[in-house]
Structure 1
Amino acid sequence: MFTLKVDNELNLALIEPSFAPKYFDIVSRQRAYLSQWLAWPPHADSEVFFHSFITKSLLDYAEGKSMVCGMIYQGELVGNISFNSINQNLKTAEIGYWLNEDFQGKGIITRCVSKLIDMAFNELGLNKIQISAAVDNQPSRAVCERLGMTLEGIITSSENLNGRIIDHAIYGLIKDNHQ
């Protein structure tokens, strides 16, 4: 398994087929919680859903289009973080993530996003990172603000989130402005 150390209790692991049962277990128990801000949980009705996601993610990774990782906290797979898209032409990437509700409040997302930002700027040669969060998703927006990202704007009617039309807050960080 390819892993990237974040700190003494946290690693990122390139997504792999063995994650499918654990992802399905988390989503089966926390579907309502995850569906507040993510469109896909209502459709994640079997391990097959996650096997398909993993296969596509690994193909996109091989083509340099994205990078999807599991977040491993104290040895346990607790969520997912990714460069949802990598645009080499523009030297940009968009980060997305989700976390098992039982592990909220431990700084896991902030630490993992920080690691991906460092990787993007120092290893991938990118110049900008972007995160799109639902306007009302205060925990996600707080991650962006803690990491010094700039609110670039609000996109109205940006997503149909399981029948609810929501606006997105777009945060960006330029390499030259990163400490």
Structure 2
Amino acid sequence: MRDNIKVKLVSPEDAVSLYDQIEKTRPQLAKFMPWGDTMRSVEDERDFLEYCQNRMKDKKLWITSVMIDGRPVGMIDLHNIDLDNSHAEIGYWLGGEYQGNGVMTDCLKCVIEIGFGEMKLHKIKLLAEVVNIASNAVAKRAGFELEGLLKDEIYSEGEFHDANLYGLIN
């Protein structure tokens, strides 16, 4: 990963910068993320980050802020962690001004290494709306294989959308 790009465990102190990126990227986030329209204040974001920290304690979530030059500009996580069956799902978003430069691909590869190495996962799954070309491209660049199409899997913008299911096996 490039020296100026890092992932770090989330902290409520990240709320102001993350919310700034949400505001700047809201139309795109709302198109693909169910929470894109509902995250309405720095306090909402801070509450969410505190919730995430609590969920990490029960080992069902591992979530980081994407940092560029020391500033939180997005998030990437492993969620629905099932340690009994050694798998998890991955999700991510990135502020619009940082997209298209390989940042998320770098972060995804880093989180994959952590998932397979430190967490001893066997499989990581990734869902991307079929029409989200950028997210599908990130999955492919990181080595994920398309496993299938899930009909009406993701609810956003007031309707259900088809999603590509990708998998990566260690």
Question: What TM-score range do you get, normalising by the shorter chain?
Answer: over 0.9
The answer to whether structure 1 residue 33 and structure 2 residue 31 are counterparts is: no
**Which amino acid in 2 is paired with 1:104?**
Q
Could you say which residue in structure 2 is the equivalent of 1:102?
97
Task: Summarize deviations over 1:39-73 as a string: whole Å, max 9, x none.
Answer: 10110111221122111100111111111110111
CA distance in 2, matches of 1:156, 1:73: 35
**Which amino acid in 1 is paired with 2:47?**
S
Could you say which residue in structure 2 is the equivalent of 1:162?
157
Unaligned segments of structure 2, at least 5 residues: none
1:42-121 superposed matches below 5 A: 42-121=37-116
CA distance in 1, matches of 2:120, 2:24: 39
How large is the Cα RMSD of the aligned pairs?
A: 1.1
Q: TM-score of the superposition, structure 1-length normalised?
A: 0.91
Task: Summarize deviations over 1:111-169 as a string: whole Å, max 9, x none.
Answer: 11101111111111110011000011111111111122111100001122121220010
**Which amino acid in 2 is paired with 1:157?**
D
Matching residue within 118, 121, 124 for 1:123: 118
Moved over 4 A (4+): none
Task: Summarize deviations over 1:82-134 as a string: whole Å, max 9, x none.
Answer: 11221101100111000000001111110111011111111111100110000
Identical residues among aligned pairs (%)? 29
Unaligned segments of structure 1, at least 5 residues: 1-5
Q: TM-score of the superposition, structure 2-length normalised?
A: 0.95
Greater RCO, CA 8 A, separation 6+: 2
Native 8 Å contact 2:15 2:46 kept in 1: yes
Could you say which residue in structure 2 is the equivalent of 1:3?
none
1:134-153 superposed matches below 5 A: 134-153=129-148
CA distance in 2, matches of 1:159, 1:71: 23
CA distance in 2, matches of 1:51, 1:74: 21
Shift of 1:26: 1.6
